[in-house]
Amino acid sequence: MSAQWPAIRMTVNGESRTVQAPAMKRLLDVLREDLHLTGAKEGCGEGECGSCSVRMNGELVNSCLVPVLQAAGATIQTVEGLARNGVLHPLQEAFLQCGGAQCGICTPGMLMAAAQLIERNPHPSMAQIREGLAGNLCRCTGFMRIFASVIAATTQQPESAGEGASDAR
């Protein structure tokens, strides 16, 4: 830690957190190394694969492309913030039921992209699901089980799926 590093306050999964870090340190590294939230993963490190996706002020971002200084004062939600009081988010339940997760590297990003999608659009079509998840790469499932998971989450519990996502902001 250096005295020259700025103190940066963020609200992460509902809690106020302050880190002291180089301004250009990636939000991804601050989440994983400083805050020990290892849900967001580094895949490509260049915004192509989506495995580091988190939500910042209600928008989906690649945390590998956010210098932490730009997250100062922001509200951040990571995959760790999806479950509420020990109850899984409907998307997480659906991924479990439908085999939407295999090796798990892409899963946190897929969940955050899907949460972003269904908050804006509680009943997305297949085309909208494909577009909403387009920047998230999976090398195990062939994507179909992931799409099926999102459909299951939005059809089985249409009300709670939408509300759960917006509650968690």
Partner 1 sequence: MRGNAESHALVAPGSLAAVLDLLAAEQGAWMPIAGGTEIMVAHAAGRLKATKLVSLWGIADLRFIQASADGVAIGAGTTFIDLRCHAIVAEEFPLLAKASAWIGSIANQSRATLGGNLVNGSPAADSSPALLAYDAEIEMISVRGRRRVPYSAFHTGYKSNVLAPDELLYAVHLPRRFARHRQYLRKVGTRRAMAISKVALAATALLEYGVIREVRLGAASLAAYPARMPQTENALLGQCITKETIIAARETILAEAQPIDDIRSTAEYRQRVAANLLEEFLLEWSREEQRT
- What are the residues whose beta carbons fall under 8 Å from the beta carbon of 93, sequence distance 6 or more? 153
DSSP string, 120-158: H-SS--HHHHHHHTTT---SSS-SHHHHHHHHHHHHHSH
Shortest distance (Å) from residue 86 CB to partner 1: 28
- Comparing CA positions, the residue from 166, 70, 64 lying closest to residue 108 is 64
Between residues 33 and 85, which has the closer beta carbon with respect to partner 1? 33
Between residues 22 and 99, which has the closer beta carbon with respect to partner 1? 22
Beta bridge partners of 19: 8
Query: What whole-number distance in Å separates Cα of residue 68 and Cα of residue 20?
Result: 10
| 158 lies in the binding site for partner 1 (CB under 8 A) | no
Shortest distance (Å) from residue 98 CB to partner 1: 22
Shortest distance (Å) from residue 62 CB to partner 1: 5
Q: How many CB atoms lie within 10 A of CB 36?
A: 8
Shortest distance (Å) from residue 88 CB to partner 1: 23
Q: Which of residues 125-144 bind partner 1 (CB under 8 A)?
A: 131-132, 134-136
| 26 lies in the binding site for partner 1 (CB under 8 A) | yes
Distances (CA, A) of 164 to 77, 91, 107, 117, 169: 13, 9, 18, 13, 9
Match 């804006």 to its residue by tokens: 120
| 64 lies in the binding site for partner 1 (CB under 8 A) | yes
Between residues 29 and 156, which has the closer beta carbon with respect to partner 1? 29
Shortest distance (Å) from residue 138 CB to partner 1: 13
Task: Note the residues at the interface with partner 1 (CB under 8 A).
Answer: 21-26, 29, 45-48, 50, 53, 56, 59-62, 64-67, 69-70, 72, 113, 116-117, 131-132, 134-136
